[in-house]
Amino acid sequence: MSIMHGARDKIVVVTGAAGGIGNAICRTFASLGSHVVVGYNTSKENAEALLLQLENGPHLALKAPVDNSAGMNELAESVKRELGNADILINAAGTTRFVEHSDLKSLDDELIDQIFRVNVRGVISATRAFQHQLSQSGNGVIVNISSIAAVTGMGSNIAYCASKAAVDNLTKSLARALAPAIRVVSVSPGLVDTEFVRGLDQNWRDQQASRTLQKRLATPKEVADAVIAATLLLPFTTGAVIPVDGGRQLA
């Protein structure tokens, strides 16, 4: 009940909301009575379909091009006009592509630039766009969706791992820079059993699951629940990285 009371009527902006993790975050906040902005870049149809499935309301599906600062400023203006000042910002937008770590030639400059533009600069762009609104909230919170690849150096490619390490560093720097008005936290999943991951090789997925202490992958809902905890249940936590990896780093 305390969670529902804390979430009710909060305005929550989620970038990358059409992805598996973003989808679960939107559903969880909506179920608790928050007003959710389903932020998308190219997946407009998926975002609008999700919007129709969210409980309570009102909610919005709006374009959130995190690599376009002007576009993010337009998003912030639309949120304020339609719903009011944002209370919570979830930076869930991200991009990657599988490239063997030893295959540096296939890790082309365009891919590297895209990964850092979306995964790192996107966090700064979204934070900058919503900083004033969050500071007016009285309890503004930013959650950056990171990855244990930031620590382990194991992930879809080496640029992706580096980008998530940068996100965790940004979390610490932003927490210091925006305090005390805004808290900033990283939620750092291991491999998550999203629709995308379920489409990959089953043997590979089983191998990844076996490398966790829990012997399974994280679910999108478990990541969403960690976000809920960071925003609503841990009011004295900021600049921290919360792992949701089933103990993978210890296995």
Our count of domains for the chain comes to: 1
Average of pLDDT values for 104-119? Answer: 97
Question: For the segment 167-193, what is each residue's pLDDT rounded down to a tens digit?
Answer: 999 999 999 999 999 999 999 999 888
Instruction: State the pairing for strand pair 35-40/182-189.
Output: unpaired
Helix (H) / strand (E) containing 233: none
**Residue 85: per-residue pLDDT:** 97
Q: In angstroms, rounded to a whole number, what is the distance separating the alpha carbons of residues 93 and 19?
A: 8
Residue 57 located in a structural domain: yes
Q: Which residues does residue 218 pair with via DSSP β-bridges, in sequence order?
A: 192
Q: Which amino acid is at 168?
A: D
Structural domain boundaries, residue 91: 2-242
**Residue 193: per-residue pLDDT:** 83
Residue 217 located in a structural domain: yes
Res 224 pLDDT > 80: yes
Residue 248 located in a structural domain: no
Res 196 pLDDT > 80: no
**CATH code: domain of residue 82:** 3.40.50.720
Average of pLDDT values for 44-50? Answer: 95
50-59, 79-88, 197-206: least confidently modelled range = 197-206
Instruction: State the pairing for strand pair 35-40/60-63.
Output: parallel
Tokens of residue 236, six digits = 């004295």
Residue 139 located in a structural domain: yes
Percentage of the chain beyond pLDDT 90 is 82
**Residue 2: per-residue pLDDT:** 63
Residue 115 located in a structural domain: yes
In the chain, the largest separation of any two C-alpha atoms, in whole Å, equals 53
**Residue 28: per-residue pLDDT:** 97
Question: For the segment 129-160, what is each residue's pLDDT rounded down to a tens digit?
Answer: 999 999 999 999 999 999 999 999 998 999 99
Tokens of residue 225, six digits = 């629940």
**Residue 203: per-residue pLDDT:** 86
Of 122, 121, 221, 139, nearest in space to 178 by CA: 139
**Residue 54: per-residue pLDDT:** 97
**191 three-class SS:** coil
Q: Are 189 and 220 in contact (CB under 8 A)?
A: no
Residue with tokens 């503004």: 140
Q: Which residues does residue 143 pair with via DSSP β-bridges, in sequence order?
A: 90, 185
Average pLDDT of the chain? 94
**Residue 1: per-residue pLDDT:** 54
Residue 251 located in a structural domain: no
Residue 247 located in a structural domain: no
Average of pLDDT values for 123-130? Answer: 98
Average of pLDDT values for 31-55? Answer: 96
Average of pLDDT values for 102-121? Answer: 97
Catalytic sites, residue numbers = 160
Phi, psi torsion values for 113, nearest 5 degrees:
-65, -40
The total number of residues shown for the chain amounts to 251
Residue 218 located in a structural domain: yes
**104 three-class SS:** helix
Q: In angstroms, rounded to a whole number, what is the distance separating the alpha carbons of residues 105 and 102?
A: 9
